[in-house]
Structure 1
Amino acid sequence: MSSLPIVPIAPPASTVPLPPQDATDRSPRFPSARHARRVLCLLPLLLIGVWAADNWRVLHDGARQLTTADPGWLAIGGAFTLLCWISAAFARQGAIPERLPPGLLLASQFAAGAANNVLPAGLGAHAVTLRFLTGRGIPLARATASLALYSLVKPVAKLLVILVLLATFPTSLGATDLLPDGGTLLPIGVGVAAAVAAVTLLLTLVRPLRRPLLDGLRTALTDARRLHTRPARVLALWGGAAGFSLCQAAVLASVGASLGLPIAWPDVLFAYLAASAAVGAVPAPAGIGPVDAALVFTLAALGAPLSLAAATVVGFRVLTVWLPLLPGALVLSVLVRNKVL
C-alpha cells in the first residue's frame, strides 16, 4: 500500500510565534521628546517670570503712572496694539508665496511677540515664525528667505513712512532738527560698508559657507521677484510693514494723549519712527532700553517735561510688552503643545 504524502499543517494564527520586537521600537527617544516638549511649553513662562522679577520696579512705576491716565485713550492704545499683531501677520503672509492659515498665523505672531521680548535683535520672533513656516511644509531655505525679506522690508517701509510724514507735515513737524546730519550718517555708512566687506570676505575665504549662503540668496531673490508680481502679496508685505510701524507709533501717541502730553500727534509719530529707526538695530529684547532712552530724549527735545516723557514711554511699554507678555507666553506654550510650532 502506497503511503500518502504528509502535508504540514500550519498552526492556528493565534499560535504562530511572533518575531521578537525590535528594541528600537521602544526607543527612549519618544519619552525624551515628550519631556522636551513639556520643557519647551514651560520655558516661555519661566523666562517671562525671570524677566518680570528683574524688572519689577519698572513694572510697578508704569502701573502707578497708568492709574492717572485717561482710560478711553488707553483703550485706543490697546486697539492699536492689537493692530500691530494683525499688521505683522499681513507682512509675514506677504513675504511667502504660499497661503497660510490666517488664524494660526495671527496666533503665531502673538506668540512671537512674547518670544521677541525675551531674546534680542528679533531672534525670538524669527525663531517662532521659522518654526511655524516649516511646520506648514515650507522648505527651510524658502522660510529663511521669507524672514530675510521681511527683515529688509521693515526698515525700508519705516523710512518711507518717515518721508511721507515729512512731506505731509512740512511746517508742523518740529522734529526735523532731530534728523541725523552728515556727521551722524558718516559712521552709519562706514558701518554698513564694513559689514558688506566682512560678508564678502567671509564668503571668499570660508568655502563651506559659500554654497548655502549663495543658495539662500538665490532663493530669496527668486521669491522676492515672484511676490512682487502679485499685487495682493505686495500690498500685504509693504502695507503690513508700514502699518506695524504706524500702529506702534499710534500706541505711543495714545498713551501720551491719556497722560496729557503737550505734543501733537504728527510729532509723536515722527518721534517714535525716528527714535526706533536710529537705535532699533541695537540687539536688545524688543528694543527695550536703547529705544526707550531715545524716545524719552526725543519727546523731551520736542518740549515735553522729562517726567511726563518718561511716563509716556513706560505706559507705551506696558501696553505693547508687559500686558501681552503672559497671554503671549501662554499662546506660545499652547502652540508648542499642539505641535503647531
Structure 2
Amino acid sequence: MRVDGREIPVSGSLLQPLIRRTSDIIRVVLAILSVAIVITGSLITRPEWLALEESVSNIVGFLNPEQSNMVYLIYGMLILALPFAIFIELVLRRQWKLLAGYAAAGWLAVLALSFTGTGLSTPKWHLQVPDRLDTFLGQFLDDPRWIAMLAAMLTVSSPWLPTRPRRWMWFLLLMFAPIHLVVSSVVPARAMLGLAVGWLVGAIIVWLVGTPALEVPLDAAVRVLARRGFTVQGFTVVHPAGRGPLLLATAVAEPAGEIVVEMYGKNQRSFGAMRQLWRLITFRPSETAPLHGSMQRAVEHRALMGIAIGDLGKADCSHFTVAALDRGWMLYAHTVPEGTRLADHKSDVLPGVWRAMADLHRNQITLGDLQPDLIRIKHGDTLFGGFAAAEFGSGDVQRNSDIAQLLVTATSLFGSKVAVASAIEVLGENAVVSAARRLTRSAMPTGIRRSIPHWHKDVQKASQEVRDQTGHDQIKTAQVTRFSRKQIIQLILLVALVYVAYPFISQVPTFFSQLRHINWWWALGGLGISAATYVGAALGLNACAGYPVKLRWMTLEQLANTFVATTTPAGVGGLALSVRYLQQSGGLTTTRATAAVALQQTVQVVTHLSLLVLFSIVAGTSSNLAHIVPDATVLYLVGGVGVGFIGLFVLVPKLRHWVNHSVRPQVKEVVRELTDLARNPKRFSVIILACATITLGQAFALWVSVEAFGGGTDFVAVTIVTMIGGSLASAAPTPGGVGAVEAALIGGLAAFGVPAEVAVPAVLLYRVLTCWIPVLLGWPVLKWMSDKDMI
C-alpha cells in the first residue's frame, strides 16, 4: 500500500468472511421476507388487494386520457433509460469489476421470473418501434421482469454510486406503482413481485461480491496516526473484521515501536445494533447499559472509560486516538497492553486482583467484562483491559455482576476454593453472597462464554463453593432477564390450556341448553365431593413424604397440580410440580421427594386395581364390561408395544445406563418405602384411605352428575365406568386426556343403559366439577405459590 509517497506493507487478509458481513446478511433476510410477504399476499388476499387497488386508482386517477398518456410516456422513457444511466455512471467511474455483477443481477432477476407452471417463458419485448410510442413502452412497464431487472441492477450498483444519483434512481424506480395508480392504466400489484425478487437477487449478489464498506481505508488511518505523531511503518492483521473489529498490530517509529489499531466498519455497527436491541428485548432495564446512538458513540465511550480507568492506574494500555474515517469506518488506537496475563501467574495474586476491582468500585466504575485475557499483572499490580462494557456511575447490579464474573474467571484458572476464599477475604461474606445470586448462565456475558471453555461448569462450581464456605444453603437466583423460566413455563402452560380446552368450549352451548333440566343440589354435592379428592390426595402425598408440610398447603399444591397436569401430556408436569414442592417447602432431597411421589403413584395404582376387581365382582355384569374393555387385538397390540419398549431399553446402551443409574435407584427407594409401610400400619392405612378417596371420589362425582340430570344407573356401574373408561382414556396423547376421557365415559355409561340425553350433559358436568373448575383455580394458586418461592 502506497500512502503519500511511502510504501507501507500490509500482512494478512483484510477481507471479512461471508458469515460476518452483518449488513449484507440483514439486507438478504429483509429481501427474503419481502418476497414471502408479496407471495403470501398474492395467494391469500389477491382479490381483496385487486379491489383495493382499483378503488384507489379510481380515487386518485384524476387525469384525463391525454394527460395520463403524456405522464405515462415521460415516466416510461425515464424508466427505460434508467439501466443505461447506471451503466454510464459505472463506466465513467471505471468500476469495471462491478459491471459483471451488474449484468449478472439483471439476467438472474429476469430468469427468476421467467419460470412459470408451463416452463420457461421468455420476455416478449419487440424492439421494433410500433405505431404508438406508449405501446412500445408498455411492453416493458407492464412486464414485472423489467422491474425486477432494474431493481436487481440498482441494488448491486447502489453502494458504489454517489449519494444524490442513487437516491434519485431509487425514487424513480419506486414511483412505478403511484404513477400507474394516477394514470389508471394498469393495476400495479404484479410489479411488487418484480421489485421484491429483483431486490433479493441484488442483495444476494452484493453479499457475495461485497461493497465499498469492505474496503478498509488504511490510507486514511495512516494519515490520522501521523497527525497524532505516529509514523506508520507497517500493518499486520491479528484478527480480521468479523464479530469484533479489525485488529491490526501496527509498527510505528520510535519511541512507541508498536501500537494496536482497531477498526470498526458498517458490519460491526449492524451487529452491535442487533446485539443492543436483543439485550433490550430479553434483559431487564437494570441489566442493560444505556443504548449507544451510533457506532462512533460506542467507540468513544470505550476510549473515555479507558482514560478514566487509566487515571486510577488500573488500565493495561494508553488510549490516544478515536477518529471517523471514510466509508463509515471508525479508528481506535491504543498502546500494546502491558503486563502478563493472569493465567500465567499463581493463585497468590488473586487478593490483589480483588482489591484492584474493589478500588474501581469505590470510584463508581465497573468493568462489565472480566475475561481471563483482559486481566494482567505488572510488577504485582493488577491492570484491566477491554472497557467496551465498562460503566461510570454504576450501581449494585453492575458491581455484583463484576464480582460474579471474576468468581467464574478465577474458578476456571485456579479452582473454586481459592477463588471464593480470596473474594471473601477482600470483599467480605455479604458481598460475595449477594453477587453469588448472579452465578447463572443467563447472567454471564458473551465474553465470558467465549473465553472460558467450560464456563457453565465453572459457574456451578463457584456457586456451590460459595454455599459451602458461607453456610448459605439457599441462595436465591437473581432474575436478569425480562421473563424468568417460571414465567415462560406458565405462559406455555396457559397456551396449552387454551388448546386442550377448545373441544370442551365447542360443546358449551349444548351443555348450557341442558342446564334447565339440572338438579342444582346434586351438582353442589358433586363439587364438594370433587374438593374432598384434593384433600385426600394431599393427605396421601404428605404421608408418603413423612408429613413434611401442613395439610392445607399441600392441598393448595394439589390444586395447582391439576392445572399443570392438565396442560402437559400424561400429567408429567403434575408429578414434577409435586417433587419440586416437597423440595422447596418440605426440605426433602431430590431423591427423597421423587421417591415419595413415586410411592404415592404406586399405591394409587394398586388401590385403583384392587377397587376395580372388587366392584367388578360386586357388579357381576361381565357382558356389559365387554363394551368398555378393548378387544383382544388391541390388547395384544399394546402388549407387543410394551415388550418392544422393554427390548429397546435392554439393547440400547445409553437407555440401559439410564435405567441402571436413574430409574433403578428410584425403584429401590420405592420398594424400601413399601417395606417400611408394611411395618407401620397407621401410616399405611392413611395412604390407602387417601388413595381410595381419590378413586371413589371421582366415581361419586360422576354418579352425582348423572343423578343431577335424572339418573339411570347405580353407583357400582358408574364406578366401573369411571375406573375402566377413565384409565384407558388417560393414555391418550392429549394433555389431561381432553376429548378421550369424555368419549370413554359417555360410551361407558351408554353401555350400562344410560340414555345419551343424560350421559352427555352428565359427563360434561363431571368434567367441569373435577377438571375445569380446579384448573381455573389452579392457575392463580400456581402463580401465588411461585411468587412465595414455594415451588
TM-score (norm 2): 0.38
Letter paired with 1:197: G
Given candidates 717, 742, 752, the residue that maps to 1:302 is 752
Write out per-residue CA displacement over residues 247-305 of structure 1, whole angstroms, 9 at most, x where no aligned residue: 11111111110101312222112211121233333333222222221111111121122
Q: Given the alignment of the two structures, is residue 73 of structure 1 paired with residue 522 of structure 2, yes or no?
A: yes
Write out per-residue CA displacement over residues 156-181 of structure 1, whole angstroms, 9 at most, x where no aligned residue: 2112112221333437x873444648
How far 1:41 moved relative to its partner?
6.1
CA distance in 2, matches of 1:182, 1:132: 41
Name the structure 2 match of 1:314. Answer: 764
Q: Is the 8 A contact 2:543 2:687 kept in 1?
A: yes
Write out per-residue CA displacement over residues 214-251 of structure 1, whole angstroms, 9 at most, x where no aligned residue: 32222222222223322232123222222211111111
Q: Given the alignment of the two structures, is residue 229 of structure 1 paired with residue 229 of structure 2, yes or no?
A: no
Given candidates 690, 696, 700, the residue that maps to 1:240 is 690
- Structure 1 stretch displaced more, 102-111 or 273-282: 273-282
CA distance in 2, matches of 1:205, 1:188: 21
Q: Given the alignment of the two structures, is residue 255 of structure 1 paired with residue 705 of structure 2, yes or no?
A: yes
Q: Is the 8 A contact 2:709 2:762 kept in 1?
A: yes
For the residue of structure 1 that corresponds to 2:731, the secondary structure is: coil
Letter paired with 1:149: L
Q: How does 1:83-102 map to 2 (within 5 A)?
A: 83-102=532-551
Tell me: CA distance 1:270–1:202, structure 2 relative to 1, closer, same or farther (3 Å): same
- More strand by percentage: 2
Name the structure 2 match of 1:264. Answer: 714
Q: Given the alignment of the two structures, is residue 31 of structure 1 paired with residue 486 of structure 2, yes or no?
A: no
For the residue of structure 1 that corresponds to 2:541, the secondary structure is: helix
How far 1:205 moved relative to its partner?
6.3
Tell me: CA distance 1:134–1:60, structure 2 relative to 1, closer, same or farther (3 Å): farther
For the residue of structure 2 that corresponds to 1:286, the secondary structure is: helix
How far 1:143 moved relative to its partner?
1.6
User: Higher relative contact order at CA 8 Å, sep ≥6: structure 1 or structure 2?
Assistant: 1
Q: Is the 8 A contact 2:500 2:735 kept in 1?
A: no
Name the structure 2 match of 1:123. Answer: 572
Name the structure 1 match of 2:662. Answer: 212
CA distance in 2, matches of 1:293, 1:38: 33
CA distance in 2, matches of 1:31, 1:276: 41
Q: How does 1:105-184 map to 2 (within 5 A)?
A: 105-135=554-584, 136-170=586-620, 175-178=624-627, 180=629, 183=632
Name the structure 1 match of 2:788. Answer: 338
Letter paired with 1:231: P
How far 1:324 moved relative to its partner?
2.3
Tell me: CA distance 1:309–1:206, structure 2 relative to 1, closer, same or farther (3 Å): same
Letter paired with 1:103: R
Name the structure 1 match of 2:510. Answer: 61
Q: Given the alignment of the two structures, is residue 290 of structure 1 paired with residue 740 of structure 2, yes or no?
A: yes
CA distance in 1, matches of 2:740, 2:655: 35
CA distance in 2, matches of 1:243, 1:198: 37
- Structure 1 stretch displaced more, 49-58 or 323-332: 49-58
CA distance in 2, matches of 1:155, 1:334: 31
CA distance in 2, matches of 1:146, 1:253: 31
Structure 2 unmatched ranges of 5 or more:
1-357, 362-398, 405-434, 444-476
Q: Is the 8 A contact 1:44 1:333 kept in 2?
A: no
CA distance in 1, matches of 2:637, 2:652: 22
Q: Is the 8 A contact 1:93 1:233 kept in 2?
A: no
How far 1:46 moved relative to its partner?
5.4
Q: Is the 8 A contact 1:142 1:220 kept in 2?
A: no
Aligned length: 324
Q: Is the 8 A contact 1:80 1:247 kept in 2?
A: yes
Q: Is the 8 A contact 1:246 1:269 kept in 2?
A: yes
For the residue of structure 1 that corresponds to 2:684, the secondary structure is: helix
Tell me: CA distance 1:177–1:30, structure 2 relative to 1, closer, same or farther (3 Å): closer
Name the structure 2 match of 1:14. Answer: none
Letter paired with 1:31: Q
How far 1:313 moved relative to its partner?
1.1
- More helix by percentage: 1
Q: Is the 8 A contact 1:115 1:125 kept in 2?
A: yes
Q: Is the 8 A contact 2:725 2:748 kept in 1?
A: yes
How far 1:73 moved relative to its partner?
0.4
Name the structure 1 match of 2:45. Answer: none
CA distance in 2, matches of 1:225, 1:200: 28
Tell me: CA distance 1:166–1:218, structure 2 relative to 1, closer, same or farther (3 Å): closer
Q: Is the 8 A contact 1:145 1:220 kept in 2?
A: yes
Name the structure 1 match of 2:731. Answer: 281
Letter paired with 1:299: L
Write out per-residue CA displacement over residues 3-59 of structure 1, whole angstroms, 9 at most, x where no aligned residue: xxxxxxxxxxxxxxx754662228456232784155556665555455546742233
Tell me: CA distance 1:176–1:52, structure 2 relative to 1, closer, same or farther (3 Å): closer
Tell me: CA distance 1:257–1:178, structure 2 relative to 1, closer, same or farther (3 Å): same
- Structure 1 stretch displaced more, 255-264 or 19-28: 19-28
For the residue of structure 2 that corresponds to 1:260, the secondary structure is: coil
Write out per-residue CA displacement over residues 139-159 of structure 1, whole angstroms, 9 at most, x where no aligned residue: 111222222222222232112
Name the structure 2 match of 1:12. Answer: none
Bigger CA radius of gyration: 2
Letter paired with 1:233: R
Moved over 6 A (4+): none
For the residue of structure 1 that corresponds to 2:783, the secondary structure is: helix
Write out per-residue CA displacement over residues 105-127 of structure 1, whole angstroms, 9 at most, x where no aligned residue: 11100110111111121112112
CA distance in 2, matches of 1:128, 1:225: 26
How far 1:208 moved relative to its partner?
5.7
CA-based RMSD: 3.0
